[in-house]
């Protein structure tokens, strides 16, 4: 309790509060801009922290981290383009709800869910981080392979109306992920002699192409340079929703938060996976799965709660083991070491005041995120009333800049266009893009951990089942796939029988 009070009293410094709000505001801007990410914003801000005391520097970086995690929901809901990979699933129900004339309600669900996810992950971080870090240390290649394989199996839940089309999309994502160097021996695969293919495609390029560029091509095809009809003359009152609107959603909130924390603890998987997994599981366990994708609150809540809970989960291995969970926490690690703070097991004993000050910063940052997004809702809605010919051309320029800025490669702009063209072709055949992104993200994780696991077990796949976590995860995967295909077949059979009778 003394450490809690000590951490809280350090927050009475108004400069720290101001830096948190500045960081959150900048993070929201970076998160809401397709092609820019919170990690980019954090890396830009890192040099500014050289002259700051440690807590002020950490407050600014953490503010950017929290703001960036939530900012992507703005464009995901209003223009169907996720600002960050962690907001992909938010587009599934967020934009349909906005297009029906309820953008304020969709934003309200997203903002409040982001706050809940952040606070729940902070509670877990505060009270259970040392224990969860020990569990994460038990994860080896076989555990990562089995968990990632289960996540890959969830593509079946994102397939939409046609299982075949969804699986086709997922396979295309897996194929595109294999372009470039092999994970262990660095041999070139499917490069076709093109030098730009040697390093493969980046996730940011895939995301921008599949969602931003394909959206631009759709509007160009339709010849629509106006605004969304559902976003005209919108009256906004408060956050658009009330707490009672979350009645019946608390299981969804808690489950999605725990999924986000769990994914965040495992380095390398991240928010891009957590929101899709949470959405898929929520849809699979829902009493009305057919309504998902039409603009219901369940999908928005699942996605936004999970992707913001990742922030707290990713901090668990960072603070307790010194292992960053994602790109954002890697930059935070750099900021901490720059100021003489070394994360790890001894940090809680040697610098307990700082740890609990960080917890307080996270709490204030989540409140700041909700306040700033609340006051910005009217501006957000006004922004998307700009004619699409101007708005989308600006987004295209930002996307190209963001793609090239990641690795300083002109080829990445071409990669964005390649993914955009592929997504546009899939759209013509009503093939969902989400499984493609899921396959692209998880394919390399599954592959490299399968190879490492086989090296560890001397090529004997059956030895994967010697450990409890891989055994349970693979059995759940088999059961899930069997259950999904059974229901898909049963949904087809009655129609076939009726046709035969006629």
Element (H, E) at 181: strand 180-181
What is the DSSP annotation of 242-311? Answer: -GGGGTT-HHHHHHHHHHHHHHHHSTTT-HHHHHHHHHHHHHHH-S-GGGTTSS-HHHHHHHHHHHHHHH
As averages over each run of 10 residues, the pLDDT of the chain (502 residues) reads 61 85 92 78 84 88 90 87 84 90 88 93 84 73 86 71 81 91 83 85 85 82 58 60 84 93 78 84 87 91 92 84 76 84 74 82 92 83 72 80 79 90 90 85 87 87 84 87 76 54 44
pLDDT for 297: 93
Burial group, residue 287, by CB count within 10 angstroms (0-12, 13-18, 19+): exposed
Q: How many helices (H) and strands (E) does the chain have?
A: 20, 2
pLDDT for 224: 57
Residue 361's nearest CA partner among 122, 112, 133 is: 122
**b/e map 303-314, b = 16+ CB within 10 Å:** bbbbbbbbbbbb
pLDDT for 498: 44
Structure tokens at 358: 């960080």
The answer, as to whether pTM is greater than 0.85, is no
Alpha carbon distance 63, 250 (integer Å): 26
Summarize the chain as % helix, strand, coil (round to 5): 75, 0, 20
pLDDT for 184: 76
CB within 8 A of 242, min separation 6: which ones? none
pLDDT for 24: 94
Alpha carbon distance 48, 285 (integer Å): 46
Q: Is 372 helix (H, G, I), strand (E, B) or coil?
A: helix
Cα 371 vs. chain centroid, distance in angstroms? 22
DSSP 8-state symbol, 47: G
Q: How would you classify the pairing of strands 188-189 and 180-181?
A: antiparallel
Any idea of the CA torsion for 450, 259, 79, 93, to the nearest 10 degrees? 110
Domain spans in the chain, listed from the N-terminal domain onward:
2-501
């Amino acid at each position: 309790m003394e450490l809690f009070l000590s951490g809280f009293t350090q927050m009475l410094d108004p400069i720290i509060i101001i830096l948190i709000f500045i960081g959150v505001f900048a993070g929201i801007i970076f998160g809401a801009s397709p092609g820019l990410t919170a990690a980019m914003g954090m890396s830009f801000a890192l040099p500014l922290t050289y002259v700051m005391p440690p807590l002020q520097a950490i407050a600014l970086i953490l503010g950017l981290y929290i703001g960036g995690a939530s900012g992507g929901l703005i464009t995901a809901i209003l223009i169907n383009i996720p600002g960050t990979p962690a907001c992909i699933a938010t587009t599934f129900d967020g934009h349909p709800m906005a297009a029906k004339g309820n953008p304020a309600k969709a934003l309200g669900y997203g903002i409040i869910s982001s706050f809940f996810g952040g606070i729940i992950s902070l509670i877990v971080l505060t009270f259970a981080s040392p224990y969860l870090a020990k569990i994460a240390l038990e994860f080896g290649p076989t555990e990562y392979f089995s968990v990632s394989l289960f996540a890959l199996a969830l593509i079946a839940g994102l397939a939409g109306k046609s299982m075949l089309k969804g699986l086709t999309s997922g396979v295309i994502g897996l194929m595109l992920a294999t372009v470039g160097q092999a994970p262990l021996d660095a041999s070139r695969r499917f490069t076709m002699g093109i030098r730009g293919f040697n390093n493969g495609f980046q996730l940011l390029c895939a995301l921008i192409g599949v969602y931003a560029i394909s959206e631009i091509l759709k509007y160009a095809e339709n010849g629509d340079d106006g605004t969304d009809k559902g976003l005209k003359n919108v009256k906004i009152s408060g956050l658009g929703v009330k707490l009672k609107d979350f009645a019946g959603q608390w299981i969804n909130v808690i489950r999605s938060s725990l999924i986000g924390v769990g994914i965040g603890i495992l380095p390398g998987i991240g928010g891009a996976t957590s929101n899709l997994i949470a959405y898929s599981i929520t849809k699979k366990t829902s009493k009305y799965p057919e309504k998902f994708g039409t603009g219901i609150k369940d999908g928005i809540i699942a996605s936004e709660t999970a992707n913001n809970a990742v922030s707290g989960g990713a901090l668990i291995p960072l603070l307790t083991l010194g292992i960053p969970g994602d790109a954002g926490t890697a930059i935070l690690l750099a900021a901490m070491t720059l100021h003489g703070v070394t994360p790890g097991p001894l940090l809680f004993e040697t610098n307990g005041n700082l740890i609990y000050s960080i917890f307080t910063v996270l709490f204030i940052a989540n409140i700041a995120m909700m306040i700033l997004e609340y006051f910005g809702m009217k501006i957000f809605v006004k922004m998307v009333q700009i004619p699409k010919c101007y708005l989308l051309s600006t987004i295209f320029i930002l996307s190209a800049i963001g793609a090239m800025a990641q690795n300083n490669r002109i080829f990445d702009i071409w990669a964005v266009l390649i993914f955009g063209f592929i997504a546009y072709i899939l759209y013509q055949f009503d093939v969902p893009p989400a499984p493609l992104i899921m396959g692209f993200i998880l394919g390399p994780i599954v592959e490299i951990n399968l190879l490492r696991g086989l090296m560890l077990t001397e090529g004997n796949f059956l030895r994967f089942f010697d450990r409890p976590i891989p055994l349970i995860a693979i059995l759940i995967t088999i059961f899930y796939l069997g259950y999904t295909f059974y229901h898909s077949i049963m949904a087809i059979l009655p129609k076939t029988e009726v046709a035969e009778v006629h």
